[in-house]
Every structure is written in C-alpha cells, then in structure tokens.
Amino acid sequence: MKYKINIEKVQTVDEIREYWTSEDYIQLLEIFNYPDAEDSEKENLRELLFMAITDFEPSEAAQLVMKYTLDGQLTEGQIHQISNDMLIDTVCEEYPEMELQAKLFHVNQLLFKAYNGKFPSSSATIIHCSITAFKDDNPSITKETVLRLLNDGLSDRNIVKRLFEDQMNGNTEFPEAEHIIWDLQNLEHDHFKITTSGNLLKKEEIIDSTWEKEIEDFGDDSGK
C-alpha cells in the first residue's frame, strides 16, 4: 500500500509528565514515608514527592522508584546494580532489554528532576505527523508500519536504521518495533503522535518533511 507522510512537528523533551498519574505520586509518597499523601492537593503531589525523595540517598531512592515501576521485571540484584549505574550513565539508553528502556527513562527523569541534575539526563523524541493511505480511508497503522514509513525520511546516521536495516526495509519481521516506539496515538483520522527514545531517534535525524512510500504488509502482529 502507498502512503504519504507529512512531518508536522518534532520535539525533544526531557520528560513525559503525563506518564505519572496522581495515584502513582500518592503510592510513591507512601513508599518514601510521606504521611497522608492521599489528603494532599493533586497539583502539589509532584513537588511533595520530590521533597520526600531527596530525604533519601540517590541510589536508595532509585531502587525504591524502580521497585515500584518495574515490579517483577528485574531482580533485586539487577535493581541494585542499575541504581548505582544510573548515577554515572544513562542506563535507559543502553539497557539491552529494549522493552524496559521506556520505563527506565521515566524513572531516570523523575530522579533527575527530583535531585536537580544529580542523575544524568536523557531525552525522548515526540513526532507529530500525518499518515495518509492512498487507497484506504481507514488503514491499520501499527508501530512497525510507522517505523518502516519513517525509514525514507531518516538520516543514514540513525541508529535504528543501521541496526534494523532488514526490518526497516520490510525484509523480515520487526517485533522490536513495539519497544522502539514507546507510544503511538492516533489523535484524529490520519494524524499521529509518536513517542520514542531520544537516543534511538534524534530530531536532527529526520531530514525530510514530506514523502511518499509504498510498503507491503509483512504481518500485523507488532501491535499498537
């Protein structure tokens, strides 16, 4: 199927604040020994959490936030190691299990904000674009579809384009797409919001604004 892609806006951000809900803040405040967090005004929860976090040593705080966010996905030993590594490196950009990179980013940036830069900062890239199918008014746009469509508008320096050449060109299945794109929202009709790692896809690596591309459906198991 042939598509037209139009890049409307690309942003580099150092946090995705809406990831954390008021309930998350309340539960984390309880973990950090802040009493009666549920009685606090919602607009104050974030700053209260930052104050509560900084009463702890950075590595201990990192362990507590990771245990809450990545419950059951990491062992105690892994959490302990990562909590120390996070103070000297952006672990979220390099962690080998790609399915954990997004959550590690959110943890890292929460701690970065709470400690005013004591943790190294990372980034996310948010792309607003339109994707129009020429012969289908309601195409199925998956994360795999989006990455394959973006391929022609990316610089050859892009790490995803280099590491996943066959997948980006549609020559093999692309299960990694589910974790390369952290969030894919269909805002209205053919308008999409794509959130991904600022390490995997940098703003300056999008070198075109409008192009057309024809791709064949390899399979529809990558999910939204």
Average confidence (pLDDT) over 123-138? 91
- Is 198 among the domain residues? yes
**Model pLDDT, residue 108:** 98
- Is 86 among the domain residues? yes
- Average confidence score pLDDT of the chain: 94
Q: Are residues 25 and 10 in the same domain?
A: no
- Is 103 among the domain residues? yes
**Model pLDDT, residue 15:** 97
Q: Are residues 160 and 102 in the same domain?
A: no
- Is 221 among the domain residues? no
Q: Are residues 105 and 138 in the same domain?
A: no
Q: Are residues 129 and 98 in the same domain?
A: no
- Is 222 among the domain residues? no
Q: Are residues 153 and 180 in the same domain?
A: yes
Q: Are residues 29 and 51 in the same domain?
A: yes
DSSP one-letter string for the chain: -EEEEEEEEEEEES--GGGS-HHHHHHHHHHTT-TTGGGS-GGGHHHHHHHHHTTS-HHHHHHHHHHHHTTTTS-HHHHHHHHHHTTTS-HHHH-S-GGGHHHHHHHHHHHHHHTTTSSPP--EEEEEEEEEETT-SS----HHHHHHHHGGGB-TT-HHHHHTHHHHTTSS--TTHHHHEEEEEEEETTEEEEEEETTTS-GGGB--SEEEEE-----S-S--
What total of structural domains would you count in the chain? 2
pLDDT band at 136 (very low <50, low <70, confident <90, very high): confident
pLDDT in tens, 11-37: 999 999 999 999 999 999 999 999 999
- Is 178 among the domain residues? yes
Q: Are residues 77 and 156 in the same domain?
A: no
- Indicate whether 221 pLDDT > 50: no
Q: Are residues 26 and 87 in the same domain?
A: yes
- Indicate whether 76 pLDDT > 50: yes
Q: Are residues 51 and 90 in the same domain?
A: yes
**Model pLDDT, residue 218:** 54
Q: Are residues 21 and 93 in the same domain?
A: yes
pLDDT band at 222 (very low <50, low <70, confident <90, very high): very low
Q: Which domain holds residue 36?
A: 17-114
Q: Are residues 28 and 104 in the same domain?
A: yes
Q: Are residues 29 and 98 in the same domain?
A: yes
pLDDT in tens, 31-72: 999 999 999 999 999 999 999 999 999 999 999 999 999 989
